Amino acid sequence: MQTESSSVIIETSHISDIEKGKRQRKTGFPWKEDEDLRLLSAVKSLGTKQWVEIAKLVGTRSRKQCRERYVNHISPSIDKRPFSRKEDDAIYNGFYLLGNKWSKIAKNLEGRTARSIRNRYKVLAVNRKLSCFSVSKKSTYEIVTGGNVW
């Protein structure tokens, strides 16, 4: 479709194609073992602040991809064991007090990432809905102190 305005012809069909392209999510490629090894080696030599340089050493990924892969998946500090009941309770209490501030909740759970806590909360919420388990309404005081006001 063409629109003519003061002797300027504007082609509008390609504009909508470009806009559609912006909305489409680009799918990535899974990380390969050799990329993980290069990433770990680069982080070991450069630390966890120089992501541009780390990405250059990895060679196949951006600085953002490298950082997210390291922080959320392959950092040695990540606790990959199943969540304990105590951790589940801490996640519920954290959500009750802070809402979906996953990073703040993660600060209270050593070795757990914000993403793993968010995912665990979603699993617990689905299980709770399926089991028709009702949550008792606790006051903030009860959650913080573990007891009643009186």
Q: Tokens standing for 23? A: 């909305």
2-5 and 8-11: which strand pairing?
A: antiparallel
What CATH number should be reported for the domain holding residue 103?
Answer: 1.10.10
* Residue 62: pLDDT band with limits 50, 70, 90: very high
Residues 106, 66, single domain; the answer is: no
Question: Hey, what amino acid is at 138?
Answer: K
Q: Domain limits at 106?
A: 85-145
Within a domain: residue 2?
Answer: no
User: Quick check: is 65 in a domain?
Assistant: yes
For 8, phi then psi, to 5°, come to: -115, 125
Would residue 55 count as lying in a domain?
Answer: yes
Q: Report the C-alpha gap between 33 and 15 in whole angstroms.
A: 40
Q: Is 9 helix (H, G, I), strand (E, B) or coil?
A: strand
Q: Would you say residue 4 lies in a domain?
A: no
Domain count of the fold of the chain: 2
Query: What pLDDT, in 10s, does the model give residues 66-103?
Result: 999 999 999 999 999 999 999 999 999 999 999 999 99
Q: Please provide residue 51's backbone torsions phi and psi, each rounded to the nearest 5 degrees.
A: -70, -30
Residue 90 and residue 70 in one domain: no
Shared domain for 131 and 101, answered yes or no, is yes
